[in-house]
């Protein structure tokens, strides 16, 4: 069903942007895993609005609680359930939008799907706010992977035409700059661009790079649960994502075979490839190289300019001015969501492998778990 995703892990979201709360429940983490609520809080903070002067200044209190699945600091084998309350949601604000769909938003498609009974307040169950509980659940996966030596590194690769020339070398490294582009110079350029865009009442697109390091070979299921299939399914559920490419992606479409193939060698410890045009994935299965992909994030559709639209009742041409404070470049705040959903997908695939060595790497049992904790 469409509010749940996953195979061995199962993530379900519930609630709505302007209701009482949003939440998620994550099934499939075995009993006895130590969970750090501080780490979860840090990841939620990374997605939070008004995180800097180049993101929306809208105030949201994203404090969360875990209402089940933990006994003390450890999982009890039942689903982890996260709740984030919505405070002070003003739905009246949205009444003026009812019959005038915002271009680029889901207003029109919600009308087409649900007709008069749709939930049109602030995106309802399609709101970006639904990604907060995704981050809560996904950050648990990201943290479990980190302990197992698998790092879901991510950064903003481009904003407008400005392209990062550096990579982030840890899952959190990108968060030291405002734009989450790793190199300081490009960051400064992009901040200027965004301020200019903000002053115009406009927005700008961007792209996100994910590079998952330390993932063992042999992950991914043949045919329909290829690594690319599973990751793209998860990532395209994040609002504003419109494209994904693995490894050299679209560049492969114009390459010769002799240039595109990644030569295999033994590096003294494991089999490896000299290049990574395939983004660490062959036949849908990891080869031990970094799983590498890039995602396009479209510019925020909510902009301050007055926009042409149509009245859904009269069918006449109309206009709309979207109020409120919106992100000039949503790619910045989308980064932690893409990282967390990627972590969810990768952990799910590792469990799906059914390989007991990999299961032990991810969830060391008994004594090993204790040793792990003592580190």
Give the whole-angstrom CA distance, residue 358 versus residue 71. Answer: 26
Nearer to a copy of itself, 65 or 170 (CB): 65
Applying CB under 8 A, does 81 fall inside the site for a copy of itself?
yes
DSSP string, 132-168: HHHHHHHHHHHHHHHHTT-EEEEEEEEETTEE--S--
Which of the ranges 42-50, 53-61, 182-190, 290-298 carries the binding residues for a copy of itself, by CB under 8 A? 290-298
| Of residues 201, 202, 156, the one with CA closest to residue 179 | 156
Which of the ranges 40-48, 173-181, 236-244, 332-340 carries the binding residues for a copy of itself, by CB under 8 A? 236-244
Nearer to a copy of itself, 22 or 172 (CB): 22
Three-state DSSP at 83 gives: strand
User: Which 92-111 residues touch a copy of itself, going by CB under 8 A?
Assistant: 101, 103-106, 108-110
Residues in a beta bridge with 291: 212
Applying CB under 8 A, does 284 fall inside the site for a copy of itself?
yes
User: Which 175-214 residues touch a copy of itself, going by CB under 8 A?
Assistant: 197, 202-207
CB of 38 to a copy of itself, least distance (A): 19
Q: Could you tell me the CA-to-CA distances from 207 to 151, 159, 163, 242 in Å, in that order?
A: 20, 7, 9, 10
Which of the ranges 43-51, 53-61, 174-182, 275-283 carries the binding residues for a copy of itself, by CB under 8 A? 275-283
Give the whole-angstrom CA distance, residue 185 versus residue 207. Answer: 17
What track of x and - describes contact with a copy of itself for positions 55 through 74 (by CB under 8 A)?
A: ----------x-xxx-x--x
| Residue from the set 55, 56, 139, 309 that interacts with a copy of itself by CB under 8 A | 309
DSSP state of 173: G
Cβ proximity of 259 and 250 under 8 Å: no
Three-state DSSP at 125 gives: helix
92 alpha carbon, distance to own chain's centre: 30
Residue 164 half-sphere exposure toward CB, CA atoms < 13 A = 24
CB of 125 to a copy of itself, least distance (A): 4
User: Which 111-150 residues touch a copy of itself, going by CB under 8 A?
Assistant: 112-119, 124-126, 130
User: Which 324-343 residues touch a copy of itself, going by CB under 8 A?
Assistant: 331
| Of residues 252, 334, 323, 325, the one with CA closest to residue 295 | 334
| Residue from the set 257, 367, 374, 375 that interacts with a copy of itself by CB under 8 A | 257
Applying CB under 8 A, does 367 fall inside the site for a copy of itself?
no
Residue 300 half-sphere exposure toward CB, CA atoms < 13 A = 26
What track of x and - describes contact with a copy of itself for positions 15 through 54 (by CB under 8 A)?
A: xx--xxx-x-x-xx-xxx----------------------
Which of the ranges 41-49, 145-153, 176-184, 291-299 carries the binding residues for a copy of itself, by CB under 8 A? 291-299
């Amino acid at each position: 069903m469409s509010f749940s995703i996953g195979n061995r892990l199962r993530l379900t979201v519930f609630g709505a942007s302007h209701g009482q709360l949003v939440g998620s429940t994550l099934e499939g983490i075995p009993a006895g895993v130590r969970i750090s609520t501080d780490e979860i809080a840090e990841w939620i903070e990374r997605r939070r609005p008004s995180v800097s002067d180049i993101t929306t200044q809208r105030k949201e209190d994203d404090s969360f609680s875990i209402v089940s699945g933990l006994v003390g600091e450890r999982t009890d084998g039942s689903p982890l359930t996260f709740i984030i309350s919505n405070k002070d949601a003003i739905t009246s604000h949205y009444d003026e939008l009812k019959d005038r769909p915002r271009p680029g938003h889901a207003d029109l498609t919600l009308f087409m799907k649900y007709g008069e009974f749709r939930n049109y307040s602030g995106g309802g169950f399609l709101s970006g706010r639904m990604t907060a509980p995704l981050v809560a659940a996904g950050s648990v996966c990201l943290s479990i992977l980190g302990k197992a030596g698998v790092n879901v590194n991510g950064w903003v690769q481009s904003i407008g035409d400005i392209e990062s020339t550096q990579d982030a070398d840890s899952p959190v490294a990108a968060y030291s700059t405002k734009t989450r582009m790793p190199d300081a110079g490009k960051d400064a350029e992009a901040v200027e661009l965004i301020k200019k865009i903000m002053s115009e009442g406009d927005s700008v697109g961007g792209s996100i790079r994910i590079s998952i390091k330390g993932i063992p070979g042999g992950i991914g299921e043949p045919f329909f649960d290829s690594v690319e299939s599973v990751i793209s399914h998860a990532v395209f559920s994040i609002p504003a994502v419109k494209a994904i490419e693995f490894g050299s992606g679209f560049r492969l479409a114009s390459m010769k075979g002799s240039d595109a193939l990644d030569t295999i060698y033994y590096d003294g410890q494991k089999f490896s490839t000299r290049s990574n045009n395939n983004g660490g994935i062959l036949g849908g299965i990891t080869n031990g190289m970094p799983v590498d992909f890039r995602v396009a994030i479209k510019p925020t559709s909510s902009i301050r300019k007055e926009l042409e639209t149509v009245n859904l009742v009269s069918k006449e041409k109309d206009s709309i001015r979207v109020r409120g404070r919106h992100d000039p470049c949503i790619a910045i705040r989308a980064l932690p969501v893409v990282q967390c959903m990627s972590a969810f997908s990768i952990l799910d695939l590792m469990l799906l492998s059914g390989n007991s060595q990999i299961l032990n790497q991810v969830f060391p049992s008994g004594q090993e778990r204790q040793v792990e904790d003592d580190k």
